[in-house]
Amino acid sequence: MILDFHIEYFTRWSEEVRVSGNLPELGNNLPDKAVPLHTSDGVQWELTLEVRVPTGTLVQYVYHIYRNGIEMRAEWNALPRIFRCCDTQQIYHLQDYWRDLPKLSHLYTSAFTDVLSAHRVRDAVPTRYSRGVCFKVYAPAVDSNHAVGICGNISALGEWDINRPLLMSDTDFPEWQAEIEADSSHLSVEYKFVLYNKVEKRVVAWEERSGNRRIELPPASEHETQVIAHSEIDFPLPCPKEAGVAIPVFSLRSESSFGIGDFGDLRRMVDWAVLTGLKIIQILPVNDTTRTHTWTDSYPYNAISIYALHPIYADLKQMGKLKNEEEQRHFDTLQSTLNALPALDYERVERTKWDFFRRLYAQEGEQTLATEKFLHFFETNKEWLQPYAAFCYLRDSYQTADFRQWHHNKVYSQEEIEALCETRSPQYDDIAFHYFIQYHLHRQLSATCRYARLHGIVLKGDIPIGISKDSVEAWKEPHYFNMNGQAGAPPDDFAIDGQNWGFPTYNWEVMAQDGYAWWMKRFRKMAEYFDAYRIDHILGFFRIWEIPVGESGLQGEFVPALPLTPQEIEEYGVHTLNGELFLPDHRIAECYHPAIAARRSDAYQALSKTEKEAFDRLYEEFFYQRHNDFWRDEAMKKLPALTQSTRMLACGEDLGMIPACVPQVMNELHILTLEIQRMPKDPSQTFGIPAKYPYLSVNTFSTHDMSTLRGWWEEDAAQTLRFYNDVLGQPGTPPAVATTEICEQILRMNLAGNSLFCIFSLQDWLSIDGQLRNPDTAAERINVPSDSRNYWRYRMHLTLEQLMAADEWNEKIRQLIKEGTMSASLQP
């Protein structure tokens, strides 16, 4: 088979176009093995390759730009170019265009193509001809009740008769394709794409484009096909808007729960979402956080592995039953006792589940580990699974996850860990025990994710910005981290003294050397389970608040940064380097950062009016202007490749001190922002205006780091009064508690906003029903960021079975969602 590549690209001096793909002749998807194209004018690039592939092979490929042998950029490849080989004797002339990030890139993510807009039943591959012209075009917004068609000036395209369009196949949705038989003479073709309603069997819209498309087709020979690729087309279609629910897995409760929510409960949550018309279920991180086997491990953002799932989320019923009936009755009794508790008893649940795991492993571990399915799982995940299992064994042997205190293996050695994990090793059974648990967790979460996709529900995961300093990654790959610094956040609405999360910061310079492979693997592992994800503290990809070990959040500084020299400070009119006003840079001698809390200090109060004005100008310019271009460049080194490394929909948690470059970058990369009505980003606003939110955003009223809607209403009487009068338009004094009517009005307002997704916490959805809402408002809060020892133990006070049976409430949610999504505007 001959592949004849053609692409137009205006290159600069010393640049060249290359192509890589999934064939040996195309470098087996390795960019450094990409094959150069040729040009005579620096614009039109061509390459003819003979490839050996069987009929039916799906060829994938992507174009790159190289300069002096170094890759400078690659085209958008989150959804690879694909081409189906239907005849090994054919010559395919591929007429391509350079693909940048599509205007509607969110519609190309798996959240849409595989879930929300999925075409469950696909058309067949279109008829192929020995002399053919194949048209290909992207139209991700076209649903399964419609098809893309072509109307044109030749007989095969209906001769402009809209009753005879050539209908295209969605076999490779969101790409559409159709083929016509080519002529043996030169042919000028004019055409336009149309939207065809398959139910009504008629054309309902023409593509929004001035003028017709035109191509000149040369005389066709036998066994030659012209493949004409088009960019996405615009039809006058409404923007999708969807609603969702946010709930941590540990907070779920069903009649089958074991004192904590599990992956079986997550599947039951899918059933409730389907019943109510919700389309997204957002959860907190589910990676293993087991450091101490105590309640402090309840913190879901302090993972000991970026790959391993938390054993506490295992559904014991799915794992199996103990053959010893007395032992099984013992666990059944404990299940009832623990599940009746109003909140999570982390230590009792964890201890009980580990006891069950050991008994079940003794009963059937050997047989499970010999199965083909387990062996496939092990080989696919061995790179992380083996070090993780060894780490867990050593953690429990030494009774600490702090590997610096271990007598042996405190420094990771691949050779030593391989020996430790050998099947002949005395420790093998204790290590393989952790393989067994992870295998069951993977099967359970994978099954739940498949179930969610099949039922049109997007599972949205959460990628923490940090890792535990006592983690597998810190042990195995310490070169990726700065272990003498801790990540946190400067003072904000969550914590007036800042936050110290205790995570090591990233050594981005080292990570860049291998193309951020560590992050790429992390994202790709997550994509096995989720179709959308929340990037925790996305500001960390621009800069991180780094705090010296042992210090509070107030002693931090942004890294990387452009610290001030003493001369620059003098030029602002500030003539002191007082330690309350300035902190020395952690890395560069004789350079300084204004202290984040300087304006609350005695030293600031002692300044004259002129000196205060000078310091204020320095402070504002340093934190909000000086670094804009610098931090933008930092983010653009990382985020484009990372967010496009999978087909998940990227959503950023962009709260806190937000420099101007952050919304610019997120908009450019089509990363959804987070909008919270009670926490507006515009300093001129007291409350956000949902109708004015950017379309590519997620809006909500409360997050896991905040009080619930009802809790917020009771926190600040003056604030509640302003919201009641100015936002809800109600005169007089507000009620002391948020009534169901008030809660419904707030939810309705946000649902009608401009955001792509509107996701409320389960607690806020419950707030609209007086019978179902929790009588104890304070019990609904999940986390208090200012409390570094917060116990993450909230559980819903009702079971999922009770939610399923709450007909009146479920109908109200369905109606609210229907009204909110009806406000969708046309595609942006």
Q: Tell me: the pLDDT tens digits for 274-299?
A: 999 999 999 999 999 999 999 999 99
Q: How would you class 354 by CB atoms within 10 Å of its CB: exposed for 0-12, middle for 13-18, buried for 19 or more?
A: middle
List, for residues 236-278, the tens digit of each pLDDT value: 998 999 999 999 999 999 999 999 999 999 999 999 999 999 9
Q: Which helix (H) or strand (E) holds 640?
A: helix 628-643
Residue type, 497: D
Q: CA 677, CA 657: separation in Å to the nearest integer?
A: 17
8 A C-beta contact, residue 62 and residue 21:
yes
Q: CA 30, CA 49: separation in Å to the nearest integer?
A: 17
8 A C-beta contact, residue 772 and residue 798:
yes
Sheet holding 242-246, edge to edge: 649-652, 532-535, 458-463, 280-282, 242-246, 757-761, 697-700, 673-676
Backbone angles phi, psi at 70, to 5 degrees: -115, 130
Three-class SS of 144-212: CCEEEEEEECCHHHHHHCCCCCEECEEEECCEEEEEEECCCCCEEEEEEEEEEECCCCEEEEECCCCCC
pLDDT at residue 498 is higher than 90: no
Q: CA 248, CA 782: separation in Å to the nearest integer?
A: 9
Q: What is the mean pLDDT of residues 734-749?
A: 98
Both tokens of 280, joined, read: 């997204």
Residue 550: per-residue pLDDT: 82
Q: How would you class 628 by CB atoms within 10 Å of its CB: exposed for 0-12, middle for 13-18, buried for 19 or more?
A: middle
Residue 79: per-residue pLDDT: 86
Q: What is the mean pLDDT of residues 609-622?
A: 96
User: What pTM value is reported for the model?
Assistant: 0.95
pLDDT at residue 827 is higher than 80: no
Residue 85: per-residue pLDDT: 83
Residue 595: per-residue pLDDT: 95
8 A C-beta contact, residue 791 and residue 298:
yes
Residue 548 CB partners (closer than 8 Å, separation 6+): 484, 485, 486, 555, 556, 586
List, for residues 522-547, the tens digit of each pLDDT value: 999 999 999 999 999 999 999 999 99
8 A C-beta contact, residue 607 and residue 593:
no
Residue 288: per-residue pLDDT: 98
pLDDT band for position 171 (50/70/90)?
very high
Closest CA to 118 of 173, 197, 167, 63: 173
- From start to end of 247-339, where are the E strands? 280-282
Both tokens of 698, joined, read: 């997620």
User: How is residue 370 annotated by DSSP?
Assistant: T
Mean predicted lDDT score pLDDT of the chain: 95
Tell me the C-alpha to C-alpha distance, in Å, between residue 245 and each of 110, 317, 697, 703, 761: 19, 26, 15, 11, 5
Q: CA 504, CA 479: separation in Å to the nearest integer?
A: 11
The fraction of the chain above a pLDDT of 70, given in percent, is 99
Residues 578, 584, 589, 590, CA torsion sign: negative
Interhelix angle 325-339/346-368, nearest 10 degrees: 150
Residue 499: per-residue pLDDT: 86
Q: Give ∠ CA 110-115-120 in degrees, rounded to 5.
A: 110
Closest CA to 615 of 581, 652, 578, 565: 581
Tell me the C-alpha to C-alpha distance, in Å, between residue 507 and each of 474, 480, 546, 639: 12, 5, 12, 16
pLDDT at residue 828 is higher than 80: no
Residue 379 CB partners (closer than 8 Å, separation 6+): none
Q: CA 275, CA 59: separation in Å to the nearest integer?
A: 40
Q: Cα 580 to the chain's mean position, in Å?
A: 39
Q: CA 364, CA 218: separation in Å to the nearest integer?
A: 67
8 A C-beta contact, residue 640 and residue 100:
no
Residue 221: per-residue pLDDT: 87
Q: CA 788, CA 682: separation in Å to the nearest integer?
A: 29
Give the DSSP per-residue string, 396-445. Answer: HHHT-S-GGG-SS-SS--HHHHHHHTSTTSTTHHHHHHHHHHHHHHHHHH
Q: When comparing pLDDT for 550 and 776, which is higher?
A: 776
pLDDT at residue 494 is higher than 90: no
8 A C-beta contact, residue 799 and residue 254:
yes
Q: Cα 520 to the chain's mean position, in Å?
A: 12
For residue 79, how many other CB atoms are within 10 A of its CB?
20
pLDDT band for position 786 (50/70/90)?
confident
Q: What is the mean pLDDT of residues 506-512?
A: 96
Q: What is the mean pLDDT of residues 124-139?
A: 93
Q: When comparing pLDDT for 494 and 245, which is higher?
A: 245
pLDDT band for position 825 (50/70/90)?
low
Q: CA 540, CA 665: separation in Å to the nearest integer?
A: 13
Sheet holding 38-39, edge to edge: 38-39, 44-50, 2-8, 91-96, 224-229, 131-138, 175-181, 169-172
Q: What is the mean pLDDT of residues 114-136?
A: 94
Q: How would you class 415 by CB atoms within 10 Å of its CB: exposed for 0-12, middle for 13-18, buried for 19 or more?
A: exposed
Three-class SS of 663-723: HHHHHHCCCEEEEECCCCCCCCCCCCCHHHCCCCEEEECCCCCCCCHHHHHCCCHHHHHHH
8 A C-beta contact, residue 649 and residue 533:
yes
For residue 355, how many other CB atoms are within 10 A of its CB?
14
Tell me the C-alpha to C-alpha distance, in Å, between residue 561 and each of 329, 516, 586, 737: 60, 21, 10, 45
Closest CA to 494 of 656, 643, 664: 656
Give the DSSP per-residue string, 541-609. Answer: GT-EEEEETT--GGG-EEES--PBPHHHHHHTT-----TTTEEE-SSSTT-EEE-TTGGGSHHHHTS-H
Residue 824: per-residue pLDDT: 59
List, for residues 667-714, the tens digit of each pLDDT value: 999 999 999 999 999 989 999 999 999 999 999 999 999 999 999 999
Both tokens of 313, joined, read: 């989320």
8 A C-beta contact, residue 389 and residue 429:
no
Q: What is the mean pLDDT of residues 109-121?
A: 97
